[in-house]
Amino acid sequence: MKRMTKNEKITPFQLFSLIMLFELGTSIMVPLGVDAKQDAWMTILIGMACGILMFSIYAYLFNRYPKLLLTGYMSVIFGKVLGFILGIAYVLFFIYGAARDLRDGLELLALFYDVTPIFVLGILMIGAVGYALFMGIETLGRTGEIYFIALFLSGITWLLLLLFSPDTVKINQVMPILENGWMPVFKTVYEQTAMFPFGEMICFSFVLPFLNNAKTGYKVGLTAILASGIIIALVVFLEISVLGVSKLQMSTFPLLSMTQRIRVGDFIQRLDAIAVAGVIVNDFFKVAIFSYAALSGSSDLFKVSKNKLVIPIVLIALLASLFIARNVVAHFEQGKFALTNIFPIFAVAIPFLLMMTDLIRKGLGYDKQRQR
């Protein structure tokens, strides 16, 4: 069996595929931006613009320290002690992110496997994630590009079936635009769509160093953020058009509810099971990348082989996902708190301070320390 190695490399298209799968992940599963009502799709596009700014910071740091992970150049810029402390905090943050996304997938699966204990579903899913981590980022990248092509083709088919279903898409339900002005839109961007999913791109600070052509990193990331943002906005726009604002706000998994409306003739219908399979695979990649960031960070901090840390990382993520909230409502409420109080620290504040400190050091003439 092939094990992860330090010489692993991924291609630009594999990076693009992983970012697309990561960004779509759970964001097309849950009711995203619904606090802005019929303007929810606009909050996605504005959140995407914020995501581009955040990724520009990550790309700057990557270009300055192309051979180092986030945990590595934090020690260079902030010093070993503070860098180590912040590195531990990031590892915990990534495990928390993996646990949250795992719980999202488990809640969706529980709708179809209602007699199966949720921890059994969790073991099956985290087992697949653990196997992917053991095989390494190169294998995950190759798997991602294959699945992305399949996802793209199935997405086009799904869109055509939805559009050809009679009396399904009603554009008038998206009107009027900006009925309550810009304030609800910007409030929703701040509370939800800037951090979820775009702020979560901080995970790729642990993937970019494995890119076989470092110069393409920013271009690939920018293209993937633009593409994923437009797709998510389109999905939310269609959810409002099909379900209406009131039903969208009450729906736990609106994509599933919308897919159930597809009716083409008397033979193409009840495609929700296929949609669930696709969404769960997306969720798998998101959990895997969050877990990989935690795995790489802890391996870099403690100088321990990644293979030895796979099982502890996935077990902690599994247990956290099961005990993170009593039910799906509490889970979503906790998510809103995290998006406004926790994610901005790790996705914006610390990377911005890293960039500014590095710019000051560079301006003062400090030589960049030797990279590992």
CATH class of 12-361: mainly alpha
Amino acid residing at 125: M
Angle at 76 between CA 73 and CA 77, to 5 degrees: 90
Confidence of residue 5 (pLDDT cuts 50, 70, 90): very low
**Cross-strand bridge partners of residue 10:** 211
The pLDDT mean for the chain works out to 90
Could you tell me the residue ranges of all domains in the chain?
A: 12-361
Taking CA atoms, 253 is separated from 153, 304, 366, in Å, by 22, 40, 52
By percentage, how much of the chain surpasses pLDDT 70?
A: 94
What local confidence, expressed as pLDDT, does residue 135 receive? 93
* Cβ-based neighbour number of residue 120 at 10 Å: 11
Average pLDDT over residues 295-318: 95
pLDDT tens-digit readout, 29-83 = 888 999 999 999 999 999 999 999 999 999 999 999 999 999 999 999 999 999 9
pLDDT(255) > 90: no
Average pLDDT over residues 84-103: 96
Say which range, 177-191, 240-254, 269-283, has the weakest mean pLDDT.
Answer: 269-283
pTM value? 0.93
Q: Which of 152, 126, 134 is nearest to 284 (CA)?
A: 126
Angstrom distance (rounded) from CA 62 to CA 217: 9
Residue 116, classed as helix, strand or coil, is: coil
By percentage, how much of the chain surpasses pLDDT 90?
A: 67
- Burial 342-355, CB ≥16 within 10 A → b, else e: ebbebbbebbeebb
* Cβ-based neighbour number of residue 319 at 10 Å: 14
Amino acid residing at 263: R
